[in-house]
Amino acid sequence: MTLDSIINEINNAKTLVILTHMNPDGDAIGSSLALYCSLLKLKKDVDVIVPEHSSIYNFLPRINDLKKEPTKEQYDIAIALDCGDIKRLNGFSESFENAKCKISIDHHEINTMFADYNFVNPASPACAQILITVIEALGVEIDNEIGTCLLTGILTDTGGFKYPATSAETFEFTAELLRKGVKVSDIYKRVLQTISKKRFELRKVAINRLELLENGKIAFTYITNKDMETVEAEEGDHEGIVDIGRDIEGVEVSIFLKETEDGTYKISLRSNEYVNVADIALLFNGGGHIRAAGGSITGTIEQSKERLVAECKKHLK
Ligand code: 5GP
Ligand code: MN
């Protein structure tokens, strides 16, 4: 079994590196730190690489241990977390490929199975939830620190327990954490509720230009680099904007574009009931889940909007 082989490989390894996807969200960072804390308990020599992240996650245990890049030429094991495609490994795909053993633990619908051992469950609402099984199989007790990291991943990827992939196990695990004294409500507030003033300003910009298209079935908005400068937004402050469009009554697909440093646009797609946005994202060099996916596009806002709306339109009822 894949899990047995993974546990065996980890037990036999001395040096490990944990990698995750670019533009890391709560699941990417929470999963990375949870596994990092677990491997430290097993006295492993482990690096966890996350070059940049939103300051929202600064409260997480061991956040200051995150490294900007790998410190070794070659590791015994590289573990990719929450990443469906090796190209999204933050530019560290070479470091991943160089490792003697390559492991991927993930929950994306679209996963290219790029590792030696792929422990992938698209039915799981978060990579962090898959990690519960892995950490327990390693014989590590999930303490408050590890629990806090895992819960952060679960909360962000389930939208606070509200997305359909949220399972009985999600609640059972959360209940267990509550009994252990983990401050579930505090973590919820930090990662899902409170927003900085700058983030609020950025949302205002996006809301003001949000358009409803195709009889209100498609919501479209965007953020440019200039907007980011104007409101002095921080890395990750655009997160959550795509959900604003999705939450409007009658909207099936929400499209959000965020300009990147090289002037291309990062696409975020969300759907409500029936459009498989992972399939649409595949047409734009991306992937993801059926109700949440992303990719990238070059061209002006108008051109990009036209191309994306045309693709989404094909899937509307
Ligand atoms: P978000 O819109 O929050 O950036 O991403 C939504 C989901 O799609 C996440 O699970 C994310 O990992 C995935 N995703 C976003 N962008 C890409 C991409 O460019 N390629 C792939 N393969 N997945 C992506
Ligand atoms: Mn995830």
Does residue 1 have a pLDDT over 90? Answer: no
Any ligand 1 atom below 6 A from CB of 291: no
Residue 275: partners with Cβ closer than 8 Å, 6 or more residues away: 252, 253, 312, 315, 316
Q: What is the largest CA-CA distance in the chain?
A: 58
Residue 238 contacts residue 259 (beta carbons within 8 Å): no
Q: What is the pLDDT of residue 309?
A: 98
Any ligand 1 atom below 6 A from CB of 294: yes
Query: Strands across the sheet with 287-288, in order?
Result: 211-213, 218-223, 253-259, 265-271, 292-297, 287-288
Mind listing the pLDDT tens digit for each residue in 123-182? 999 999 999 999 999 999 999 999 999 999 999 999 999 999 999 999 999 999 999 999
User: Which is the closest atom of ligand 1 to the Cα of 286?
Assistant: 20
pTM of structure? 0.94
Does residue 69 have a pLDDT over 90? Answer: yes
Helix (H, G, I), strand (E, B) or coil at 260: coil
Question: What distance in angstroms lies between residue 295's CA and the mean position of ligand 1's atoms?
Answer: 6
Rounded Cα–Cα distance for residues 317 and 206 (Å)? 27
Residue 173 contacts residue 196 (beta carbons within 8 Å): no
Cα separations (Å) of 252 from 16, 150, 215, 279, 315? 42, 30, 11, 15, 10
**Residue with CA closest to ligand 1 atom 20:** 286
Any ligand 1 atom below 6 A from CB of 170: no
